[in-house]
Chain A
């Protein structure tokens, strides 16, 4: 029983990171039907920027809390600029191209960003500075840390903020209108280019927050870390129904929990033949099962809803 609870907690933490990243995929897909495969790399750059900024500030003698916040701010700003630039340089010229073209461009941008990061930060694993004090708690036989609590709280707050933005502001309304019918939205004076750019910028900001969380949680970072994280978050978005915000959140958390439970029990289930390092299997089994039995995902609607 305590393994079960322990893995639920671990899954919830990992899942809230997936959810934040999945939102970046789903926002862009919802508005322009593009799967931005470079999104995982945006998250990676967020982590590495934080290492540089927070690490050097700590070395310069700043308090850890201040350095951490500065690192987070820097990551968010750099990622927002990067998201904007990606859309402007790589995707906007292909707005009216066949669907496959921007998809391949996205994969290309992912490779470009990985190599760019390798040139800047090198090919070795980097240590992420400890930004939060190590504190452990115990509840009903399961252990959890202060870092885990903060990850869950921050992602809940960030997601709440996103929902407010999308459902309560003029920009959010323009985004929803554009997702439903770009031609009519632009006749109402909505500047489609700005709405699409906003989706990239906001998605990248969420990705940066997720990147800082990943770094804080695992205390290690690498220029290729965005690849697997991106694929899993994409799986989470598909599981929830790509294009749907609530779906991405629920899909992320579900995927995290499925993965954690899988990792916790795979040893017992296979008589020790497979160990917990096979946990990546579960994400992709989920992806295959969803695509086979419910390709529109949990909350997905049929695409192409044109009145």
Chain B
């Protein structure tokens, strides 16, 4: 239904995934355009996270596939998806708890740098320069999400809201073309959600396309340019928020028929 939109960044083409008899995704096709904030919503168990996992190489789809930035996305390993420019955060925060905030972001920088095992062992000039650059970039990113004063604290000691911000900084460190946020507002209060809204809007303004999975319908409708609704693994509708909000099928999916 959306194959001919201009400027596609990610096209999902009839993506299917099943676990035993459960059809978690049934031929889902959708298009995310460059520069937009794209919302993916649906009731619990609708297949949103499965879709994320297929896209980022954690699952291999059983059917269909993705075209990313003009070329097929063969995401059979997560680090390849990261190298192509897809980064994500997690519904349940998954930081490296025993590493500092700064180190967490520096790990994210990994995919964009090249010094290897021998460089690390013999510490040549190129490796040292690269590591200094990684550190500086990580500091800048912590500043960007406004948690730079927590740089040297172990990430597990950060507050919940700061951990969410740190996950976003770590994802941004991979220089993504597409940033996928899996329920970033979960468990946040009103003030935190508002600050998050500003952060996401700012990231888009700075040129990164965003795919947002979220339960907070108000946040999605206010922030997203277009929204797709999944229910029982199938795409119900993909359109601008104003249309989606009034769609009878969406109302039924959320409220029960």
Binds A, one of B30-38, B77-85, B144-152, B226-234: B77-85
CB distance B88 to A190 under 8 Å?
A: no
In the complex, A41 Cα to B110 Cα: how many Å?
33
Residues 16-33 of B contacting A (Cβ, < 8 Å): none
Binds B, one of A7-15, A164-172, A253-261: A164-172
Within the complex, what minimum Cβ distance (angstroms) separates A241 from chain B? 14
Q: Which one of B58, B83, B98, B109 lies within 8 Å of A176 (CB-CB)? A: B98
Q: What residues on B are CB-neighbors of A177 within 8 Å?
A: 96, 99, 107
> Does A105 count as interface, using CB distance less than 8 angstroms?
no
Q: What residues on B are CB-neighbors of A198 within 8 Å?
A: 117, 120
Q: What residues on A are CB-neighbors of B111 within 8 Å?
A: 188-190
Given contacts A181-B96, A187-B58, contact A192 B107 (CB under 8 A): no
SS of A interface (majority)? helix
> Does B61 count as interface, using CB distance less than 8 angstroms?
no
Within the complex, what minimum Cβ distance (angstroms) separates A87 from chain B? 12
Q: What residues on A are CB-neighbors of B83 within 8 Å?
A: 189
CB distance B98 to A305 under 8 Å?
A: yes
Q: What residues on A are CB-neighbors of B116 within 8 Å?
A: 171, 194
Within the complex, what minimum Cβ distance (angstroms) separates B172 from chain A? 11
How many chain A residues sit at the interface, stated as a range, is 20 to 34
> Does B208 count as interface, using CB distance less than 8 angstroms?
no
Q: What residues on B are CB-neighbors of A65 within 8 Å?
A: none
CB distance B134 to A170 under 8 Å?
A: yes
Given contacts A169-B131, A187-B88, contact A202 B79 (CB under 8 A): no
> Does B174 count as interface, using CB distance less than 8 angstroms?
yes
In the complex, A52 Cα to B89 Cα: how many Å?
53
Within the complex, what minimum Cβ distance (angstroms) separates B76 from chain A? 11
Contact indicator per residue, chain B 110-132, by CB within 8 Å of chain A (1) or not (0)? 11110111011101000100110
CB distance A170 to B130 under 8 Å?
A: yes
CB distance A188 to B170 under 8 Å?
A: yes
CB distance A180 to B78 under 8 Å?
A: no
> Does B143 count as interface, using CB distance less than 8 angstroms?
no
In the complex, A280 Cα to B112 Cα: how many Å?
50
In the complex, A192 Cα to B90 Cα: how many Å?
19
Most buried by A among B77, B112, B121, B134: B121
CB distance B107 to A171 under 8 Å?
A: no
Most buried by A among B94, B170, B171: B94
Q: What residues on B are CB-neighbors of A192 within 8 Å?
A: 79
In the complex, A169 Cα to B115 Cα: how many Å?
10
CB distance B103 to A173 under 8 Å?
A: yes
In the complex, A205 Cα to B122 Cα: how many Å?
13
Q: What residues on B are CB-neighbors of A168 within 8 Å?
A: 131
CB distance B92 to A172 under 8 Å?
A: no
Q: Which one of A183, A190, A197 lies within 8 Å of B110 (CB-CB)? A: A190
In the complex, A183 Cα to B82 Cα: how many Å?
12
Residues 72-100 of A contacting B (Cβ, < 8 Å): none
Q: Which one of B56, B121, B173 lies within 8 Å of A202 (CB-CB)? A: B121
In the complex, A186 Cα to B81 Cα: how many Å?
9
| A-B contacts besides A170-B106, A189-B79, 13 pairs, CB < 8 Å | A165-B120, A170-B120, A171-B116, A181-B94, A185-B96, A187-B57, A188-B107, A188-B171, A189-B110, A190-B111, A192-B79, A198-B117, A305-B98
The interface of chain A, by Cβ under 8 A from chain B, is 165, 168-174, 176-177, 180-181, 183-192, 194, 197-198, 201-202, 205, 305-307
